[in-house]
Amino acid sequence: MASKDAPDVELAPRTTSYDFLGPPGALFVTLTVPAITYGLYFGCSEANGCTPNLFTIPDQIVASMSDPDWWVSLWDTQAFLVYLAWYAYTVVAWFVLPGDWIQGTTLRTGGKKYYKLNAFPTALLVLGLTVGTIYRFGPSSFTLLYEKWIGFVTASVVMATAQAIYCYAFSFRKGKLLALGGNSGNFIYDFFIGRELNPSIGSFDIKSFNELRPGLILWLLIDISMACEQAVRRGGMSEITDSMWLVLVFQGWYVVDALFNESAIFTTMDITTDGFGFMLAIGDLSWVPFVYSLQARYLVFKQIELGPVWTAVIFLANATGYYIFRGANGEKNDFRSGSNPKNLKYMTTASGSKLLTSGWWGWSRHPNYFGDLLMAFAWSLPTGFNTPITYFYVSYFAVLLIHRQLRDDEHCQKKYGKDWDTYKKLVPYRIVPYIY
């Protein structure tokens, strides 16, 4: 659903510059993201205790990839059907459950898309069913996600690839509004980065739907499944370790908060700027649920008791990150919606845009990223320091956010010109005040 567009806007301008180092970089990420998702499972497993022998890894990779039985083992029909049922549920819930419709940001055509907000009730319904099932039948009734992990990963990769192919193919239909960065003419790059800005089936927007629902909610369900698996091994829900509870509470709160504040995503770069291609599809459907839940999976077979002191310290670290993250995003969303309840200072550019220069946004140009990184670090701390693999998420996340910050700075430099130089003098730090 979209409002009326201006008729004289070019819908498919040619992309003039590359991101991700162009087609070679796009191909590299396309191949390595699924490979890393699988690799984190095999590299951090019960068999090796999440401490793989680095010297034997190359030989193990060659042996596995040359063995047809290993490839067959990645497929699990039951897991695939369950995943399809899960995805179907989220789609049906989008259509059936009530929700407000809001306008997104103004498109370059002058029109606006309308988005339905019901991710939160979608999660509440499935969480209610999940808790009821566990209460009635015990934790052993919800361990399938742990038992068939690889099968679910493969199902998500198939779904992500299928959607990326569909969206790329249909982006060539007449009248499609293409992303400014996704129409280079190179198949590899455009397939990866996303050619069409807002691929939709009627009023059903594929990109924003995938951003929050099937992958993000599944991440929380995976964490719950990991806690149930640990409970089965330890003799009941009351025996779940404090480290597992911390991970479950931290990540569960993060997911629920994102779903409750669903409207906030419609001002992000993913929605306003990027097309929907393999990059977002594999990220939303595979990377988020199966990589972000690494800490919970590790704690199934490495059951760590932190004690009250360390539990409190880690809880405080996460709470600090959340306070910064939510406070910064709240200021941004209020300001972009036309209100300024804190009377924050700002500068006005020659184009008429306003840039915040006080509050959280006076400390750095991306204070929400700083809060996000603090939370990511806190999510890894319950796993202890026996392996660096459980800190993969925060390491990757730091690289991701720095890359996003660089992309955003480049975009704003082109958009605002000298005004951006002035703004950078007023707010000199990129993410972490006084450090970066």
Banded pLDDT at 7 (limits 50, 70, 90): very low
Mean pLDDT of 304-313: 95
- Residue 193 burial class via C-beta count within 10 angstroms: exposed 0-12, middle 13-18, buried 19 and up: buried
Higher pLDDT, 350 or 146: 146
pLDDT of residue 326: 87
- Look at 239 and 7; give whichever has higher pLDDT: 239
- pLDDT at position 332 is 83
Q: What is the pLDDT of residues 373-400, one digit of tens each?
A: 999 999 999 999 999 999 998 998 899 8
Interval 425-430 mean pLDDT: 90
Specify the range with the lowest mean pLDDT, choosing from 25-39, 146-160, 283-297, 408-422.
408-422
Residue 2's pLDDT is what? 54
Considering only residues 15 and 91, tell me which one the structure prediction assigns the higher pLDDT.
91
Which pLDDT score, from 0 to 100, does residue 77 have?
A: 97
Kindly report, residue by residue over 20-29, the tens digit of the pLDDT: 889 999 999 9
pLDDT per residue as tens digits for the range 330-368: 888 777 777 777 888 888 888 888 888 888 888 899 999
Which pLDDT value is given to residue 49?
86
pLDDT of residue 8: 46
Mean pLDDT of the chain: 90
Residue 88 has pLDDT above 60, yes or no: yes
273-302 per-position pLDDT tens digit: 889 999 999 999 999 999 999 999 999 999
Residue 219 — pLDDT band, cuts 50, 70, 90? Answer: very high
Reduce the secondary structure of the chain to three states and give it as a string: CECCCCCCCCCCCCCCCCCCCHHHHHHHHHHHHHHHHHHHHHHCCCCCCCCCCCCCHHHHHHHHHCCHHHHHHCCCHHHHHHHHHHHHHHHHHHHHCCCEEEECCCCCCCCCEEEEECHHHHHHHHHHHHHHHHHHHCHHHHCHHHHCHHHHHHHHHHHHHHHHHHHHHHCCCCCCCECCCCCCCCHHHHHHHCCECCCEECCEEHHHHHHHHHHHHHHHHHHHHHHHHHHHHHCCHHHCCHHHHHHHHHHHHHHHHHHHCHHHHHHCHHHHCCCCCHHHHHHHHHHHHHHCCHHHHHHHHCCCCCHHHHHHHHHHHHHHHHHHHHHHHHHHHHHHCCCCCCCCCEEECCCCCEEECCCHHHHCCCHHHHHHHHHHHHHHHHHCCCCCHHHHHHHHHHHHHHHHHHHHHHHHHHHHCHHHHHHHHHCCCCCCCCCC
- Predicted pLDDT of residue 3: 52
Residues 37-71: tens digit of each pLDDT: 999 999 998 888 888 888 888 888 898 888 999 99
pLDDT band at 419 (very low <50, low <70, confident <90, very high): confident
Residue 155 has pLDDT above 90, yes or no: yes
Which tens digit of pLDDT belongs to each residue from 169-214?
A: 999 998 899 988 889 999 999 999 999 999 999 999 999 999 989 9
pLDDT (0 to 100) of residue 1: 56
What average pLDDT does the segment 222-242 reach? 95
Top mean-pLDDT range of 12-16, 224-228, 271-275: 224-228
- In the predicted model, is pLDDT for residue 216 greater than 60? yes
pLDDT exceeds 90 at position 118:
yes
pLDDT of 220 over the 90 cut: yes
pLDDT of residue 350: 85
Q: Does the pLDDT of residue 160 top 90, yes or no?
A: yes
Query: Of the given ranges (122-126, 133-137, 288-292, 355-359), which has the lowest mean pLDDT?
Result: 355-359
